Amino acid sequence: MAFESYPPCHFNLATNTTLVVETARGCHDGATSNIYYADQTSRVINIIIV
């Protein structure tokens, strides 16, 4: 899955799953199921399956 450059508070994740997107600035998009935490310093995205 390729992650392109988006504004800090928005990630366009192509998926059928409802998501929570939380950046280092505390922005959110979507809700529940999988949680994507994006560290804006390292640009590393950790995917936590819940």
Q: pLDDT class for 3, splitting at 50, 70, 90?
A: low
If one counts every other C-beta atom within 10 angstroms of the C-beta of residue 45, the result is 14
**pLDDT for the residue 17:** 44
Residue 47, pLDDT above cutoff 50? yes
Question: What is the phi/psi pair of residue 21, to 5°?
Answer: -110, 120
The pTM score is 0.14
**Nearest C-alpha neighbor of 3 from the set 41, 50, 49, 38:** 38
Model confidence over 19-44: pLDDT tens digits?
455 554 455 554 433 445 544 444 45
Range 14-23 average pLDDT: 48
